[in-house]
Amino acid sequence: PSSGGGYSVPAVSSRSGLAVQAALSEQGTPYRYASATPGVAFDCSGLTAWAWGQAGVGLPHQSRAQYASLPHVPKEVAQPGDLLFFYSPISHVSIYLGNGMQVHAPNTGTTVTVGAVNWGKVTGVGRPG
């Protein structure tokens, strides 16, 4: 579909709901760098890669590599299942849930959690599928 902005935005994948549900199912799992083991530990990109993997979509395990591998959409049209990329250079990624909320593995000492998106820190949005 055209956004009227002179570019087309890829449609939201029908699998995005599966990825969202997979990520939400891991709430409370501890953060551990370079980890992607359900029920044991995840880092931010491990969670996004695993969740989309459950939906049958392969992503690299590294936030910048994920961003580079995906079509990008404007923040204003982010939809549930889209990946939100943070900071410059990119060093964090979460799965957008809609209504300004995200699910992510924040950092050491935390667990997979749902929280509000700080849009001021979002440098890009990727749309898997």
Omega before residue 74 within 30° of 0, cis: no
Active site annotation includes 61: no
**What region, left, alpha or beta, does residue 44 occupy, with left being phi > 0 and alpha being psi -120 to 50 degrees?**
alpha
The one catalytic residue among 92, 94, 102, 125: 92
The one catalytic residue among 12, 20, 36, 44: 44
Q: 6-12 long-range contacts, Cβ below 8 Å, gap at least 24?
A: 9/73, 9/74, 9/77, 9/127, 10/71, 10/73, 10/127, 10/129, 12/79, 12/80, 12/81, 12/82, 12/127, 12/129
Q: Which residues make beta-bridge pairs with 86?
A: 92, 122
The one catalytic residue among 42, 46, 102, 104: 104
Active site annotation includes 104: yes
Which residues does the annotation mark as catalytic?
Answer: 44, 92, 104
